[in-house]
Structure 1
Amino acid sequence: MADPVTVDLFTTVRYSDNMRQADDDEAESDFEYRPGVRIAHVKDPGQCNSALQSEFAYLIYKNETLDNQVSAQLDWDGDCEIAPYLSWRASDSLREASQSNRGTNTAANRERRNVFSTGPQLVLPLTELTSFISSLDWRKTTYEETESGDNERWVADARLQRSFSPVMQGWLSATYSDAEYDSGETLEETSYRVGMSRRISRTFFSGNIGVTSLERDVNGRLSEEEGIVWSAQATHQLDNGSVFASVSRDITDQASDVEIAFGDIRFTFDQSQAVEMTSFTVGGNTLLRNGYGVNADVYYKEHLYVGSDEMEEIVGTQIGLSKALNSALSARGTLRYERQEFFPDEATANEYAALLGLSYTRTSRLSFSLDVGHETQSASSGNAAEYSENFIAATVNYNLR
């Protein structure tokens, strides 16, 4: 059965006193107009299933502080059963990726990245509690401007999973990936992992551990990297919210699917393709008795670029507060801090941000929002951006269907 297609039209008008997030003595104010459309659709279950989430907009800058451009985001997944236990899958992910982690969070430092994947998947029940899952995917990754990141790869995966009880599952997996970049670089990745998940009352645990090896060939120069990889997550449900913690270490390349899973991680494309990533996050959300909703998290990330002495450390925290003022009007606020440190030059960047907003639902189809915010980033050297920005943005959204 297919859900109806939902279509939303929206327009955002944003004023900034420093649209390019430049140094204070070079700050330029401007208006950004952002008309766009959101389209969503789900078809499930059936012989063929699909899910689509997309947003397209056109950014117009009144005073031409930045170039007018298209903004696009799309997630599509589909599969069709072609024989018993055998299906063919396809997916496409279109995102805006940062070109430099030392640059500003503006359109001038972003470009579109598209990842298309397709291939067969076999799901074979061995017993009532055990199944074997195998897949072979071809993936094509393209960047709008940074051609050195474009690549094609084959990914083969085999997994044996077993349900030990209604609240406990375990699995073994082996994955092989062979990637070739347009620059001529090739990278082979092999990974073996064992994992499990368990629910105890209101708490859910999951985790895995294994070994990953990378073999990199750059113009005939071979290099290898091997290490232990792992991840663990825990979520505990409260009466009016939840708390969570996650920790992980992975070895991969910049254009792999891990970049999508860690969508907030910003890579620098001129670094080594292979990267060791370590991250830790703890946070939670709750609804207080007075009607205020609170969410907060603290995170740490480390990116070590294999084959060079480049490394980044990121630590940050954010807290959000929301309140329904009546059946149609709600208010929200957010505070955020992030510190980035780059090695070996030991440059640092400290970012502070604050946001206040209102949302008003006029009808089931028509809604409005208003946001006022401030961002400041200080840096210890010229290798990182330093700026201060105040902005106000108003959005109107209309649901066509």
Structure 2
Amino acid sequence: MRAIPHSRNPATRRRNCGIAALALALPGHAMAVQLDYAVGAGLMYTDNVNQDEFDPIDENIFSTRVDFALTENNRHLDLAVRGDAEHLNYLDNVYDDEVRGSLVADLDWTIRPDRLVFSVDNHMGYEPIDFRSNNAPDNLQRINVFSAGPTLMGRLGEHTDGELELRYVKTDAEKTEDFNTDRYSVAARLLRDFDPTQRGGLNLEALQVDFDRPDLYSGYHRRDAFYSHDLALNRTVLHLEAGYSWLDLEGYSATYDAPRLRATADVQLSPRSRVHVDLAYQFAEAAHDLVRRLSESGDPFDPTNPGDPGIPDGPTVGPSGAITPDVYRERRVQIGYSYVGERLTFDVNPYYSRNHYLNSPIDNRGDRGISLDLGYRLTPRTDLSVSAWASSRKYDSFPRKDKDLSASIGVSHRFTRHWSGQAEVRRLDRDSNANGGSYVENVAFVSITYRR
């Protein structure tokens, strides 16, 4: 597999908004940058900010937030940056004030059309330090994955292309030092267009991973060989990968191998409804998982409804990864259904995953769950939203089981084209057989937002 999976071909993301400054300095035609943003402020009350079973602490939080999306496309440059930044002011001083954010940045610089592209990409998000614990503020850390390198392309026949892809990747965790790595990858691809709707490819990939702290975890070398196939029809988009992977752990003098199988499909059932399927059986690890989830989460900024600026994000729906250096065998099934009507929107997303770690079997676990999101337009300016999700996590090596339930209901009103207000109540409930692992949290908030 590639050092880090990319959501487009070739794809790029970058470390911070400084990517835009780099883009402006590149040669090319005059650029018409598209910038959308929203800023907001809100007040939230929670009766259990520390998510503790025995000693819950209530807290009032004042928050300010900005969401943004920056895009630029011309003959030489393909740029897309999206993200958010949020300042949390804990009014009762239960925790120190903090800033959180997320970022997905892509830059493709076409140095020579159809011959040479230089790509830069970055994914930044927040993950639990101890994924068995709750998502209290003191159990979250910033994770960043940065990648850069060229892709060389050449026409080998009327319908056949060749690609050579080189990448340097840097992974960094704010607290978990054994996650930090330098990675070097090379990939060779032979791609053939069968017809205007289908493309197949033979892919060879090699990845070397060197850890910043080899005393904590040794590096490894990975090789992948697989066939890929893409199909794009009017109502169906399909991507398949089938092959094999080999993994050499240097410090353990151990070699592992496993099939590499991936399949994703988007099917437009009707003008208003769509199904998405994502299946995987492969080697994976924390950096790969973070990039995949951020890439597939969709654009968090919608100029007409960017979310709830000023309100801290709730727990991630779906299986969150353990930020560890260990590689695991992943089995994953995710299915989503979406309906968008004139007044009603509906999303349901069940999932199942099972991870078997190569060197830390204590982390072996299975996750399953489902999320539901419902939106209804009460009036031309007022929307009702209802969300719920349930998940279950069970460990193989010890008798621990966690069940999470969440439900929320909210309303938003657009006062003008630019100004809107939001209010929501939310309940989180974790039932765990681990001592001190359960908690209940009730949240209420109001906020106001300005959209460009």
Using structure 2 for the length normalisation, give the TM-score.
Answer: 0.82
Mapped to 2, the partners of 1:72 and 1:42 lie a distance apart of 19
Q: Is 1:321 paired with 2:351?
A: no
Matching of residue 198 in structure 1 with residue 228 in structure 2: no
Cα 1:92/1:205, change in 2 over 3 Å: closer
Alpha carbons of 1:190 and 1:36: their partners in 2 closer, same or farther (altered >3 Å)?
same
Q: Is 2:264 the partner of 1:233?
A: yes
* Bigger shift: residues 245-254 or 370-379: 245-254
Assess, with a 3 A threshold, how the Cα gap between structure 1 residues 115 and 335 changes in structure 2: closer, same or farther.
Answer: same
4+ runs deviating over 4 angstroms: none
Say whether the 8 Å CA contact 2:319–2:367 is kept in structure 1.
no
User: Partner letter of residue 183 of structure 2?
Assistant: R
User: Match of 2:240?
Assistant: 207
Q: Which residue does the alignment assign to 2:398?
A: 345
Deviation at 1:200, TM superposition (A): 5.6
State the Cα distance separating 1:163 from its structure 2 match: 1.6
Alignment of 1:152 with 2:182, yes or no, is: yes
Equivalent in the alignment of 1:300: 352
Residue by residue over 1:356-393, the C-alpha shift from the partner in whole angstroms, topping out at 9 and shown as x without a partner, is 011212222212221111111011122x7210011112
Q: Residue 100 of structure 1 contacts residue 266 of structure 1 at CA under 8 Å; is this kept in 2? A: no
Q: Give 1:298 shift.
A: 1.2
Structure 1 position 199, deviation (Å): 4.5
Contact 1:99 1:267 in 2 (8 A): no
Q: Which amino acid aligns with 2:257?
A: E
Shift, 1:299, TM fit: 0.7
| Residue equivalent to 1:393 | 445
Which residue of the other structure, out of 193, 196, 199, is the alignment partner of 1:166?
196
Distance change (3 Å), C-alpha of 1:211 and 1:370: same
Question: In structure 2, how many angstroms separate the alpha carbons of the residues matched to 1:120 and 1:293?
Answer: 41
Amino acid paired to 1:321: L
- Structure 1 residue 241, shift from structure 2 partner: 0.8
Q: Distance in 1 between the 2:447 and 2:265 partners?
A: 36
Q: Could you tell me how far apart the structure 2 residues matched to 1:379 and 1:249 are?
A: 28
Q: Distance in 2 between matches of 1:74 and 1:128?
A: 39
For 1:55 and 1:357, how far apart are their aligned partners in 2? 21
What letter is aligned with 2:108?
D
8 Å Cα contact 1:80-1:88 kept in structure 2: yes
- CA 1:244/1:79 → structure 2, altered by over 3 Å: closer, same or farther? closer
Q: Which residue of 2 aligns with 1:268?
A: 322
Q: Distance in 2 between matches of 1:326 and 1:65?
A: 40
Preserved CA contact (<8 Å) 1:8 1:39: yes
Aligned to 2:79: 50
Counterpart of 2:14? none
Amino acid at match of 1:259: L
Describe how 1:81-120 pairs up with structure 2 within 5 A.
81-84=110-113, 85-120=115-150
More strand by share: 1
Identity %: 20
Equivalents in 2 of 1:353, 1:234: separation in Å? 28
Q: Deviations over 1:143-196 (max 9, x none)?
A: 111111111011111212222112222111111111111121211111111121
Aligned partner letter, 1:242: R
Q: Which has the higher contact order (CA 8 A, sep 6+)?
A: 2
Aligned partner of residue 279 in structure 2, secondary structure: strand
Q: Is the 8 A contact 2:162 2:189 kept in 1?
A: yes
TM-score (norm 1): 0.92
- Report the Cα offset of residue 29 of structure 1: 0.7
How many Å separate the matches in 2 of 1:365 and 1:213? 53
Distance 1:265 1:340, change over 3 A: closer
Structure 2: runs of 5+ lacking an equivalent: 1-30, 295-317
2:95 counterpart residue number: 66
Q: CA deviation at 1:314?
A: 0.4
CA RMSD of aligned residues (A): 1.9
Residues 131 and 355 of structure 1, relative CA distance in 2, 3 Å threshold? same
2:169 corresponds to which of 136, 139, 147:
139
Pair 1:249-2:281 in alignment = yes
Alignment equivalent of 1:5, drawn from 27, 30, 35:
35
Residue in structure 2 matched with residue 364 of structure 1 by the alignment = 417
State the aligned residue count: 393
Contact 1:214–1:252 (CA under 8 A) maintained in structure 2: no
**What is the deviation of 1:3?**
2.8
